[in-house]
Homo-oligomer: A and B are copies of this chain.
């Protein structure tokens, strides 16, 4: 195994010192252009590669942002990560990705790993099952910049970026009302997760504004999955006075609802309207295509990265505050909810 070349090797070759080489490589202003040129040439010739470990150990900065996502198999998160990466990369940061698999202890492990790796900051979306936030609190207490997105917890008091879930659900419900649906049900999720509760409120308020009934029988509480969406819909449709439209808490739930509706043989959107939330990749592909609320994923990632950069700067100045960015949801009208004007 060949020894790796270090800045000392380059220094020896050029009859100079490691300090000069280091400065040249880092484009330090007080190094002459000539020296920089020579150093770079020699570095390339010797196939030199900087050891980030040593560099970071010494400088105290890794130029790495740790990102924790619940699952890489949900395209929403993949897309947000793209946004984060775009901004991060342009500012010289790299992104280290961790999946929590929706599991709080795995999430804690991930945070631990990121802290040990001395990342410069953490951007995260909270796992569905997480109810205690000790591991996140510790990040904050250690003064490591922490930014949350989408699934946030306000009690943590950290900067975050979300879309207006209340407004999204309100828009979705209003859209169904305008399409002439009058008995509109909602499949919600775990109520300790803020975004699900917000969507529930948006749904209910839209009905109220238009004088439509907000009945307990019209609201199902599921676990936010295809299976749960199917089960909840089975129940809703078999009730005494079934709904003629459904607002699903997100697209996978809507997918389950669609399966249930098809099995019963009702026509979407003629006999029953359906709208999801998230604009998952598959939502435009399925038949009928699923109306949904777009969450501005790329923008969400970009804003999260910008919040992190902000936080770093403020940290240097000793400032601190918990800015909250709220993005506007976008209503996407597709086949599943379009009963008129077709």
State the A residues within 8 Å of B (CB): 1-2, 49-54, 56-57, 62, 71-73, 75, 77-79, 81-82, 85, 94, 96-99, 101, 112-113, 115-118, 143, 226, 255, 259, 262, 281-282, 285-287
Q: What is the bound-complex CA distance between A71 and B281, given in angstroms?
A: 13
User: A143: which B residues are within 8 A, CB to CB?
Assistant: 1-2
Q: What is the bound-complex CA distance between A195 and B201, given in angstroms?
A: 49
Q: What is the bound-complex CA distance between A262 and B226, given in angstroms?
A: 25
Q: What is the bound-complex CA distance between A77 and B99, given in angstroms?
A: 13
Q: Which among B50, B72, B75, B116 is the interface contact of A51 at CB below 8 angstroms?
A: B116
Q: What is the bound-complex CA distance between A331 and B260, given in angstroms?
A: 26
User: A117: which B residues are within 8 A, CB to CB?
Assistant: 52-53
User: A82: which B residues are within 8 A, CB to CB?
Assistant: 72-73, 99, 101
User: A73: which B residues are within 8 A, CB to CB?
Assistant: 75, 78-79, 82, 281
Could you name 15 residue pairs across A and B whose Cβ atoms are closer than 8 Å?
A49-B112, A49-B116, A52-B118, A71-B78, A72-B77, A72-B78, A73-B79, A73-B82, A73-B281, A81-B99, A82-B101, A97-B98, A259-B285, A282-B286, A286-B286
Q: Which among B57, B94, B115, B281 is the interface contact of A57 at CB below 8 angstroms?
A: B57
Q: Are A285 and B286 in contact (CB under 8 A)?
A: yes
Q: What is the bound-complex CA distance between A101 and B86, given in angstroms?
A: 11
CB distance from A221 to the nearest CB of B (A): 23
CB distance from A131 to the nearest CB of B (A): 23
Q: Are A285 and B226 in contact (CB under 8 A)?
A: yes
Given contacts A2-B143, A78-B99, 7 further A-B contacts (CB under 8 A): A49-B112, A51-B116, A52-B117, A52-B118, A78-B78, A255-B285, A262-B287
Q: Are A54 and B51 in contact (CB under 8 A)?
A: no
Q: A286-B286, A286-B287 are in contact. Are A118 and B72 (CB under 8 A)?
A: no
Q: What is the bound-complex CA distance between A197 and B25, given in angstroms?
A: 44
Q: What is the bound-complex CA distance between A99 and B281, given in angstroms?
A: 18
User: A99: which B residues are within 8 A, CB to CB?
Assistant: 78, 81-82, 85
Q: Are B49 and A57 in contact (CB under 8 A)?
A: no
Q: Are B116 and A52 in contact (CB under 8 A)?
A: yes
Q: What is the bound-complex CA distance between A97 and B226, given in angstroms?
A: 27
Q: What is the bound-complex CA distance between A113 and B49, given in angstroms?
A: 10
Q: What is the bound-complex CA distance between A117 and B73, given in angstroms?
A: 26
User: A94: which B residues are within 8 A, CB to CB?
Assistant: 113
Q: Closest residue of chain B to A50, judged by CB? A: B116
CB distance from A125 to the nearest CB of B (A): 14
CB distance from A24 to the nearest CB of B (A): 18
Q: Closest residue of chain B to A113, judged by CB? A: B94
Q: What is the bound-complex CA distance between A51 and B78, given in angstroms?
A: 29
Most chain B beta-carbon neighbours within 10 Å: one of A51, A53, A226, A282: A53
User: A96: which B residues are within 8 A, CB to CB?
Assistant: 96-97
Q: A78-B72, A96-B97, A286-B286 are in contact. Are A53 and B57 (CB under 8 A)?
A: yes
Q: Closest residue of chain B to A69, judged by CB? A: B72
Q: Closest residue of chain B to A262, judged by CB? A: B287
Q: What is the bound-complex CA distance between A101 and B118, given in angstroms?
A: 26
Among all A-B residue pairs, the 6 with the closest Cβ atoms: A72-B78, A97-B97, A282-B282, A73-B78, A52-B116, A53-B57
